[in-house]
Chains A and B, each alone.
Chain A
Amino acid sequence: MHPAFSVLFFTVLSGAGYGLMILLVIGHLTGLSQLQDGGVLLTAGILSFILIAIGLLCSMGHLANPKNAWRAFNRFKTSWLSREGVFAIAFFPFALIYLGGIWSNGADAGGIFTLAGIIAAVLAIVTLFCTSMIYASLKTIRQWNTSLTPVNYISLGLMSGSLLLAAIQGSVSGGLSTVLYQLALALVVLGAIAKIIYLFWIGKPAGSTINTATGFTQASVRLLDQGHTSNGFLNNEFGYTVEANKLVMLRLLMLAMAFIVPFLLLLTANSNLIVFAAIIAIAGLLVERWLFFAEARHVVRLFHGDQQT
Chain B
Amino acid sequence: MKLGLVIDLDTCVGCHGCATACKQWNTSGTIGPLADKDPYGREPVGSWLNRIRSYEVDDTPNSKTVHMPMSCMHCEDADCVTVCPTGASYKRLEDGIVLVDQDKCMGCNLCSWACPYGARELDPEQGTMKKCTLCVDRIYDEKLPEAERQPACVLTCPTKSRVFGDFDDPDSEVSKLVRGRAGKQLMPELGYNPVNTYLPPRNKPVQDQIDPASLKDTVKGWVNKIIAR
Contact = CB atoms under 8 A, between A and B. Distances in A.
A151 interface: no
B53 A227 contact: yes
B55 A224 contact: yes
Contacts of A208: 116, 187, 189-190
Given A65-B126, A71-B87, A212-B187, A78 B82 contact: yes
A33 interface: no
6 contacts: A69-B106, A139-B79, A224-B56, A224-B65, A237-B122, A303-B118
A205 to B, nearest CB: 15
Interface string B69-100: 01000000001011111111000000000000
Given A140-B190, A221-B55, A79 B116 contact: no
B53 A223 contact: yes
A30 interface: no
Contacts of A68: 86, 88, 103-107
A299 B116 contact: yes
Interface string A37-78: 000000000000000000000000011111111011111001
Interface string A200-219: 00000000100011111001
A73 B124 CA distance: 25
B85 A230 contact: no
A74 B122 contact: no
Contacts of A1: 113
Contact of B122 (A79, A223, A233): A233
B112 interface: yes
Contact of A81 (B48, B70, B110, B186): B110
A140 B116 contact: yes
Given A68-B106, A230-B43, A231-B43, 6 more contacts: A64-B122, A230-B42, A232-B46, A232-B121, A233-B112, A237-B113
State the 4 A-B residue pairs at the shortest beta-carbon distance, nearest first: A64-B107, A64-B127, A219-B58, A82-B85
A268 interface: no
B45 interface: yes
Interface string B1-41: 00000000000001010010000000000000000000000
Contacts, number: 182
B66 A79 contact: no
Contacts of B104: 68, 71
Contacts of B46: 232
Among A63, A64, A67, A234, residue most surrounded by chain B Cβ atoms (within 10 Å): A64
- How would you classify the secondary structure of chain B's contact residues: helix, strand, loop or mixed? loop
A232 B85 contact: no
Interface string B178-199: 0000001111111110000010
Given A74-B85, A78-B82, A215 B106 contact: no
A237 B186 contact: no
A225 B53 contact: yes
A28 interface: no
A72 B106 contact: yes
Interface string A213-256: 11110011111111110111110111000000000000000000
Given A138-B113, A299-B187, A65 B82 contact: no
Contacts of A304: 53
Contacts of A72: 85-86, 106, 108
B74 to A, nearest CB: 17
Contact of A221 (B44, B56, B116): B56
Contact of B114 (A69, A140, A225): A140
A81 B56 CA distance: 39
A101 interface: no
A274 interface: no
A72 B114 CA distance: 17
B175 interface: no
B89 to A, nearest CB: 9
A240 to B, nearest CB: 13
A75 B113 contact: no
Nearest to A232: B45
Given A71-B104, A226-B53, A299-B116, A214 B190 contact: no
B189 A63 contact: no
A131 to B, nearest CB: 12
Contact of A220 (B44, B57, B70, B82): B57
A289 to B, nearest CB: 16
Nearest to B52: A227
Nearest to A144: B113
Nearest to A78: B82
A42 B85 CA distance: 34
B198 to A, nearest CB: 6
A219 B57 contact: yes
Contacts of B160: none
A244 to B, nearest CB: 24
A141 interface: yes
